[in-house]
Amino acid sequence: MKTKKHHLLIWVLLCLTLLVSSIAIAPQQETAAAPKTDAKLTAIKKRGYMVLGVSADYPPYEFHKTINGEDKVVGFDIDLARQVAKDIGVELRIKELGFDSLLGSLKTGKVDMIVSAMTPTPEREKEVAFSQPYLTVAQKVIVRKGEENKYRSVMAFKGQKVGVQKQTTQEQTAKDELSGAKVVSLEKVTDLILNLQQKKLNAVVVEAPVANAYVQTNKALTLANVKFTNADYGCAVAVAKGAPAYLANVNKTIKTVQKNGQFAKWQKTANTLMFSKQNFWQAYGSYFLKGTGITIVLTILGVFFGSLLGTLLALMKRAKNKLIKGIAVVYIQYFRGTPLLVQVFMIYFGTQVIHLNVSAFASAALALSLNSGAYVSEVIRSGIQSVAKGQSEAARSLGLSSKQTMRLVVLPQAVKTILPALGNEFISLLKESAIVSVIGVGELMFQTSVVQGSSFKPFLPLVIASLIYFALTLILSLVLRVFEKN
């Protein structure tokens, strides 16, 4: 009897300890699964804003629209991103990039999240973390109207040029499923549509909502009746790896807006916005103005700092000290021997790698200046070399010092050859500045592609941009001619 009581007591005690310990352990386990915060989330909250990376060429997900005379990036992806920021309690800032630059920007910390109709793929999941999908859509093929009967199955694309956006899942789908097609990858969806209209491409693969948007706004295009076997893609929000609390916040927002019907409302709004008619100039004139302004400022900065740097390099190259000379030679060789496009990316992403947060505009101005410095130095050097040797020999024999010879005899003559060549350099700098649109600097070329996207007119904006560039270079050469005469 005694032992029985004993047993009972031990049992009760055992159960009690189990209960107590499970209560004590439970909250700990919960924090381990989804911590309240993490370094990334804390950093964002402290900063007070978060940066959204987006490729705004994808109506109705994300696109440009003029609202009350102001250029805005809109679409249901943007609404979702804004809600995520709101739920975290910070402001949203939008950073536009090419779709193929988004992952790099997220990994280097240039942006805090991507909401850009991005599909979680195994390759991407190695690099970044994805939320739960907020939308699942099919893939469609756009073709020119009247040719839809030619393309009734995946086999019909054999030998045909099929366009896709660079670095997207469509790229893979087209390669895997449209057997024998020649797949062409371009940076922007607007470029794909333009190429299709002009018969440079025979078909374009994009997500169904985007395909419908372009077909409905463009009478020359229609959808081909093609079924892919493996092409229902989910779209999800991407954030950096190793931030579980931050990701949990994003997931919670997605869940809520889907449940309460908010997401469906955003989709409707995006569709209405997309098709609301506007007068072209009223809607887009300001884009070209703004773009032209930024192009001019970038060129002026590039010319100014490029000339300073170029003069310095030219002097260094004439130096007796081998090291100084060597630095100049290598610098010039490097900046003239690699594409400006690569230099722009290197500066923009490279500064982030060494933990300097340089804005896209500053990176662009820096890249243009560094690049132009190399060319200017060569212009100056060849100008000095063009002055006949006899000139400085004569000056020296008349008793002038080498500095005086340079200043009084060689340079004044060299300027005659330097000026026109320098003028050419400035003109090419103005044109080359178009390249920096890849990192999202809002100069003329960037604005042009924005207008292409939101107006659904792929060609007209290009004509306007080319006329503006033409006018700018014309004015510049006229100004330079006045200088050369004096």
Residues that bind ligand ARG (CB under 6 A): 55, 57-58, 61-62, 99, 116-119, 165, 168-169, 189, 207, 233, 235
Closest CB 217 distance from ligand ARG, rounded Å: 17
Chain centroid to Cα 198, Å, comes to: 26
Q: Is 95 helix (H, G, I), strand (E, B) or coil?
A: strand
321/11 Cα distance (integer angstroms): 90
471/484 Cα distance (integer angstroms): 20
Q: Which of 486, 378, 80 is nearest to 253 (CA)?
A: 80
Q: How many helices (H) and strands (E) would you count in the chain?
A: 19, 14
Scan for tokens 């979702």, then name that residue.
Answer: 80
Q: Indicate the residue among 233 and 284 with the shorter CB distance to ligand ARG.
A: 233
Q: Find all residues with CB under 8 Å of 89, minimum gap 6, and list them.
A: 45
For 355: left if phi > 0, alpha if psi spans -120 to 50, otherwise beta; the answer is left
Closest CB 472 distance from ligand ARG, rounded Å: 30
Q: Indicate the residue among 75 and 306 with the shorter CB distance to ligand ARG.
A: 75
Closest CB 362 distance from ligand ARG, rounded Å: 25
Closest CB 428 distance from ligand ARG, rounded Å: 31
Q: Find all residues with CB under 8 Å of 65, minimum gap 6, and list them.
A: 71, 72, 74, 273, 274, 276, 454
Q: Indicate the residue among 100 and 147 with the shorter CB distance to ligand ARG.
A: 100
Helix (H) or strand (E) holding 295: helix 280-318
Q: Indicate the residue among 62 and 177 with the shorter CB distance to ligand ARG.
A: 62
Tokens of 19: 């209960």
356/211 Cα distance (integer angstroms): 40
Closest CB 237 distance from ligand ARG, rounded Å: 12
For 284: left if phi > 0, alpha if psi spans -120 to 50, otherwise beta; the answer is alpha
Closest residue to bound ligand ARG by CB: 168
Q: Indicate the residue among 106 and 332 with the shorter CB distance to ligand ARG.
A: 106
Q: Is 173 helix (H, G, I), strand (E, B) or coil?
A: helix
Q: Indicate the residue among 165 and 292 with the shorter CB distance to ligand ARG.
A: 165
Closest CB 211 distance from ligand ARG, rounded Å: 12
Q: Which of 431, 432, 449, 427 is nearest to 440 (CA)?
A: 449
Residue 50: other Cβ atoms inside 10 A? 23
Closest CB 115 distance from ligand ARG, rounded Å: 9
Closest CB 107 distance from ligand ARG, rounded Å: 16
Q: Indicate the residue among 40 and 124 with the shorter CB distance to ligand ARG.
A: 124
Q: Indicate the residue among 73 and 283 with the shorter CB distance to ligand ARG.
A: 73
Sign of CA dihedral 182, 57, 255, 271: negative
Helix (H) or strand (E) holding 49: strand 49-54
Q: Indicate the residue among 118 and 376 with the shorter CB distance to ligand ARG.
A: 118
Closest CB 168 distance from ligand ARG, rounded Å: 3
Closest CB 239 distance from ligand ARG, rounded Å: 15
Q: Is 20 helix (H, G, I), strand (E, B) or coil?
A: helix
203/140 Cα distance (integer angstroms): 10
Q: Indicate the residue among 170 and 369 with the shorter CB distance to ligand ARG.
A: 170
For residue 94, CA distances in Å to 53, 78, 113, 230, 284 come to 6, 9, 10, 32, 20
Closest CB 66 distance from ligand ARG, rounded Å: 20
Sign of CA dihedral 294, 300, 306, 309: negative
For residue 91, CA distances in Å to 8, 78, 86 come to 61, 13, 7
User: Which residues are bridge partners to 379 per DSSP?
Assistant: none
Q: Which of 172, 159, 230 is nearest to 205 (CA)?
A: 172
Q: Indicate the residue among 205 and 409 with the shorter CB distance to ligand ARG.
A: 205
Terminal-to-terminal C-alpha distance of the chain: 122
Q: Indicate the residue among 168 and 202 with the shorter CB distance to ligand ARG.
A: 168
Closest CB 189 distance from ligand ARG, rounded Å: 6
Q: Report the amino acid identity of residue 306.
A: G
Closest CB 52 distance from ligand ARG, rounded Å: 12
Q: Indicate the residue among 58 and 335 with the shorter CB distance to ligand ARG.
A: 58
